[in-house]
Structure 1
Amino acid sequence: MRQPADALRIGVLNLMHDKLDTRARFLRVLEGQGINVAITFYYPKDHYKGRSVPPEVAKYARPLELAEVKKLDGFIVTGAPLERLSFTEITYSDELHELFSCLEKYQIEQLYVCWGAMAALNYFYGIEKYLLAQKVFGVYPQEILAPSKLLYGLKDGFLAPHARYADIDLAQVSQRRELQISANSSTGHAFLIEAKKAHQTFLFSHLEYGRQALEKEYQREVAAYPDQKAHLARPTYASQVPRFSWGKAQQLFFKNWLTLIATRKKAKNVIKN
């Protein structure tokens, strides 16, 4: 299908284990904001080195090519189930670093989600991650700590889902003048960190998740580790009614992010002309 000439070109590096569900989620949250977007999904080539790309991946995603990436208006690096591994253990870390460098060089608007945010903060600013005593897993209120265009329309205490086994060192973040901690979770974990001058946003919540995503994640873990079922945390919901209590935050955040890209793209075009 031919995209409108004024569509925002968004790339998504899909690193999640449930790739088809993740693709559907990002299509929904990006295409449902009343802003023309053209979305391309990518996979890291090094992840499949020496083996065939799974058909469901090859059908819906393209191999990561920096020559294409540098022409985009915005780029998302998703989360990945890799929090318990060190960054040096990631098989495609070199390819990921080349992507980060390309996005920085061409000043493409960047959104890093969950593990993607941990990896990018470590690469750009040397921020370390650490393992949590127990997985942070559920829907919690968020505390707004600084003004942010991405949180426009949201009030202190808005709800958002978290699902991860690690977090980043917020004390290190606070020492970096280039970074702003825009919001944290009521659990004390990171929610949103922004670079003050670079085009970088680090989101630690899976705001793209739909109504059933947390429960599906729990069931996947139970199936993968049946002997550990008694020790696997179930998602905690701050509000039972409605269950999809982060819907407003999801809608506003992604609309604000796309609006930011559109505004900056327009400004660039004015300068060029």
Structure 2
Amino acid sequence: MNWTKQENSTGTLTVTLEGEPWEKACAKAFNRMKANLNLKGFRKGQVPDALAKKSIPAQAVYEEAANMVAQEALDSGVKEYKLDLVARPVLTVKDATEKSVTLEFTCTVSPDVELGDWKSIKAEKKAVEVSEEEIEQEMQHLQDHFADWVLKEDGEPAEIGDQVTIDFVGMKDGTPFEGGSGENYPLVLGSNTFIPGFEDQLVGIKPEEKRTIEVTFPENYQVADLAGQPATFEVTAHDIKSRELPEINDELIVRLKRDGIETVEKYKEEAKNALLAQKEKAAEDEFTNDILNQLQA
């Protein structure tokens, strides 16, 4: 067994298994694979060893055996070299034969920290609080979650934030291009779903109105033939809907179906606690990083 430390807090733990322990692992792996072998003329799990060995490649057995013993080998190495792993190691199986195998674990460990003048460290954990404005924002998110799309009155034009159901055909140099057409597409104006300039030109459109939209595809557009190129879209609007926000009351809270939360006040309390926990975690992380940075300075 050997541990080789490398740069960037990585290293290689090498473990070699040989003799009886490895041979037993191979036998166990072979029996496990044989139990799942389907061979014509034999019931599953009843294939004779001689025939099974012809159907199961030796290297497959070694790989299976290596995976079976890997965790124990890793645990042994971690204990012997007192490794503080910070991620799951990557296993590489090398030089596998019926007599021995070498397992290489590429590991990431905690970095070595050289302490500076720790007596001069000055760090203070920030106090945190949750404002009423933040609670109100959470309530607005709740409203948004349960908002409904409602048909606007006949003849009312579309505004930013409205959902417009459209048919569209995109053309470059007067010819429709692949992927540039759609029917009954629900587009929320202002969502930036389409390329820049498209949605802005639909503001004010009315049901069954047709418009020609002129745009230029971004230079970094994923379709090379369209990147940076001008195009036109023939658009027909159908339904135009606006968002209707629900009233914030106990009935709305009940719709969340959360155990123990059935009133507005209880929801606000839970929202405040969740926000406070997030802020405290961020403050704790910042405090710890401040100390570590000073120690390593």
TM-score by length of 1: 0.19
Greater Rg over alpha carbons, structure: 2
